[in-house]
Structure 1
Amino acid sequence: MRYFLELSYNGASYHGWQRQPNAVSVQEVLENALSLLLRTDINTIGAGRTDAGVHARQIMVHFDFSSFLDTDQFIYKMNAFLPVDIAVQNVRLVKETAHARFDALSRSYQYLISCHKDPFSINSAYHVKKELDIDLMNEAAKLLLNYSNFKCFSKSKTNVKTYNCTITNAVWEQTGELLVFNISANRFLRNMVRAIVGTLIEIGTHKLNMDDLVRIVKSEDRSEAGYSVPAHGLYLTKVDYPKTIYLNV
């Protein structure tokens, strides 16, 4: 039987989601806890591969297990086994063919910017000292929806078949002392969101303009785009799937 596990984690202490030979990852810690609880080796597949230091408010993971799970007991015990910075939110039985990565319809991220020096957000938001033109940044973000090839925002030397992504939402919102960038797409390239945010910040400080953004996207050249903002301000917030993959048991 196949299960979808809904997980959230603070990525500060981990070298990203995916197992690494010489560093601790979220996947390694999760699989160790699952294997200990279920008394068999458990392998997982995640919806995406968040980089070192990136957080997830919601990420879906699938794994196979031969027996039915008591949902409440499973969640309670898993959270007892896991460290404080990783939490299981839900577990659901899905079709045997369901895949946490390939069946995802869309993924959503947030990037948090602290507009004022705040000692309590130093590990959860990126502090930008310069004043930002939020209206111009929103105008630039909206422009991204007109394009599909985002090679200019992709990490160099990445093994992908296509650089095409369909962005369905990209908007900045002011929430108290925080400036929040919301972006959704069917898929994301490695480092894409952080490179987009860095470029939009340079537009917000008037270092770049709208014509520059068009030129950057059309260049398909990472060196033309803005800097990559720090990982600690980035959150994977939602992964959407077709309802048909879930079994109502």
Structure 2
Amino acid sequence: MGRFRLDIEYAGTRYSGWQKQKNGRTIQGKLIEAAEKIFKGERIDIQGSGRTDAGVHALNQVAHLEVKTMLAPEIIKMKLNDLLPADINILEVSKAGKNFHARHDAVSRSYIYQISRRRTAFGKQFVWWIKDELDFEYMKRVGGLFEGMHDFASFADKDSEDKSTKALIESIQFKEVGELILIRIVGSHFLWKMVRRIVGVLAEAGRHKLNENDVESYLNVFSREPAKYTAPPSGLFLEKVIYEKNYQWEELEPVINLIPTIKFGRREK
């Protein structure tokens, strides 16, 4: 058996998340379908670095493929892309060590969330449009409360795979670009719906409907309140999966720049 690392990008709008399901269209499911056609009769295992929710996108999801084959990585990439739908793309296939595990070996992960301050006909599936005025500086201030090791039970739905609700948030970065507010969250791992609930709470803080004391309370005492503020999946992207310590992060830029037909300039006052 050989093991390969797959770097994958996808638009998650049409999918019920990453993880294969019996009655749902998923990213992992489509990858396995394609691999089974390429490696007929061989035992195949494809495991991702983590699950993304329904409707969530990925700029660079990492998975490992285990299969017995003599095909070169570049040929595997070409054959997979020939069979995959247009909204799933293999960026790179590379040989991996026999013990490499896409999930267990990851040191940290980063997500980017895009909030739009204007309505958009073309970018709707990649942003969360918020009509209300948002206090950007206050959102940044409240965002700092999430950094460090915390119990995120208030910010996650229960999941049988999560043994603990504690997670380390290494950093939260904010940037304004035209009519977009960008939020990058870097952490050791993330619980189910955790990022979307953090963003939703930050948006409520930006509206001045929640304050720092509220957020500190959610982090210290379990509350079902953050569930009401869960941000939609449309604006969320799994950005990177990191396998090396002390990774140097690049400047935070709009994901929307990857789609040249969509521009978010400053609106006229």
Q: Quick check: TM above 0.5?
A: yes
Structure 2 residue 90 is matched with structure 1 residue 88? yes
Residue equivalent to 2:14? 13
Unaligned runs of 5+ in 2: 246-269
Residue equivalent to 1:143? 145
Equivalent position SS for 1:140: helix
Equivalent position SS for 1:165: strand
Query: Which residue identity does 1:167 align to in structure 2?
Result: I
Residue equivalent to 2:231? 229
Q: By how many angstroms is 1:75 displaced?
A: 1.6
Equivalent position SS for 1:24: coil
Runs of 4+ in structure 1 over 3 Å off: 156-159
Q: Partners in 1 of 2:72 and 2:163 — Cα distance?
A: 40
The question of whether the paired residues in 1 share the 8 Å contact of 2:148 and 2:170 is answered with no
The question of whether the paired residues in 1 share the 8 Å contact of 2:8 and 2:60 is answered with yes
Task: Describe the superposition over 1:155-193 as per-residue Cα deviations: whole angstroms up to 9, x where unpaired.
Answer: 145542111111111122112221111001010000000
Task: Describe the superposition over 1:2-34 as per-residue Cα deviations: whole angstroms up to 9, x where unpaired.
Answer: 111111100111111111111111111111111
Distance 1:207-1:158 versus aligned 2 partners, 3 A rule: farther
After TM superposition, the structure 1 = structure 2 runs for residues 16-165 of structure 1, keeping only pairs within 5 Å, are: 16-39=17-40, 40-156=42-158, 158-165=160-167
Structure 2 residue 180 is matched with structure 1 residue 178? yes
Q: Which moved more, 1:156-165 or 1:201-210?
A: 156-165
Q: Partners in 1 of 2:190 and 2:169 — Cα distance?
A: 9
Query: Which residue identity does 2:135 align to in structure 1?
Result: D
Distance 1:177-1:69 versus aligned 2 partners, 3 A rule: farther
Distance 1:157-1:46 versus aligned 2 partners, 3 A rule: closer
The question of whether the paired residues in 1 share the 8 Å contact of 2:39 and 2:69 is answered with no
The question of whether the paired residues in 1 share the 8 Å contact of 2:109 and 2:240 is answered with yes
Q: Which moved more, 1:152-161 or 1:92-101?
A: 152-161
Q: Partners in 1 of 2:159 and 2:57 — Cα distance?
A: 23
Task: Give the TM-score of the pair, scaled to structure 2.
Answer: 0.86
Task: Give the TM-score of the pair, scaled to structure 1.
Answer: 0.93
Q: By how many angstroms is 1:220 displaced?
A: 2.3
The question of whether the paired residues in 2 share the 8 Å contact of 1:199 and 1:225 is answered with no
Task: Describe the superposition over 1:98-129 as per-residue Cα deviations: whole angstroms up to 9, x where unpaired.
Answer: 11111110010011111111111111101000
Q: Which moved more, 1:84-93 or 1:170-179?
A: 170-179
Q: Partners in 1 of 2:43 and 2:26 — Cα distance?
A: 17
Q: Partners in 1 of 2:13 and 2:230 — Cα distance?
A: 17
Once superposed, what is the RMSD of the aligned Cα atoms? 1.6
Q: Which moved more, 1:145-154 or 1:6-15?
A: 145-154
Query: Which residue identity does 2:50 align to in structure 1?
Result: G
Equivalent position SS for 2:195: helix
The question of whether the paired residues in 1 share the 8 Å contact of 2:165 and 2:191 is answered with yes
Q: By how many angstroms is 1:92 displaced?
A: 1.4
Q: Partners in 1 of 2:92 and 2:148 — Cα distance?
A: 36
One of 148, 168, 171 as aligned partner of 2:170: 168
**What is the number of residues matched between the two proteins?**
243
Distance 1:72-1:225 versus aligned 2 partners, 3 A rule: closer
Q: Partners in 2 of 1:224 and 1:77 — Cα distance?
A: 44
Residue equivalent to 2:258? none
Equivalent position SS for 2:125: coil
The question of whether the paired residues in 2 share the 8 Å contact of 1:45 and 1:63 is answered with yes
Q: Partners in 2 of 1:220 and 1:158 — Cα distance?
A: 18
Q: By how many angstroms is 1:226 displaced?
A: 5.1
The question of whether the paired residues in 1 share the 8 Å contact of 2:127 and 2:235 is answered with yes
